[in-house]
Amino acid sequence: MLKDFKDFIIKGNAFDMAVGIILGGAFGLCVKSLVSNILMPLIGGLCKLPDFSQLHYAMDGKIYETVEAAQKAGPTVAHGIFINNTINLIIVGFALFVMVKYIEKATKKNEEEAPAPEPDKQEVLLGEIRDLLQK
């Protein structure tokens, strides 16, 4: 049973999946930081808008300085956070798209360069017999 577990963990698919999940989590944090700390303040500054993450609508109709204050007071529609998360999704999706395309291209190139395997002796012999029978 221990050997079966070891074989399962070391298999390419399980190991590749684990590496992908770990890298994906780290990549997601980097993209979130990029969007929240760099892109959104730049876009907000160019558009003369406040920080998108602070855009909100308090359901009680009052105006609050921050989303957190509005959420403590009651139900709040935090559409700025939704905008940030949507931009995160677009960036991560595009990066994954580019990465998958690159990997597909590299894999296809390696498959094209690999020589066709030579048939074994039995197949060669059967082919010769077939050719002799056709004559």
Q: 83 exposed, middle or buried (CB, 10 Å; 0-12, 13-18, 19+)?
A: middle
Residue 77 has what pLDDT? 92
Segment holding 43, helix H or strand E: helix 40-46
pLDDT digits (tens, 9 = 90+) for 15-68: 777 778 888 888 888 888 887 788 877 877 887 766 677 888 998 988 988 889
pTM here is 0.57
Q: For domain 2-134, which CATH number applies: 1.20.1250.20, 3.40.50.1380, 2.60.120.680, 1.10.1200.120?
A: 1.10.1200.120
Residue pair 53/36 in contact by the 8 Å Cβ criterion: yes
Residue pair 58/73 in contact by the 8 Å Cβ criterion: yes
Domain ranges of the chain: 2-134
Residue pair 54/79 in contact by the 8 Å Cβ criterion: no
pLDDT digits (tens, 9 = 90+) for 97-130: 888 898 888 878 766 666 767 888 888 888 888 8
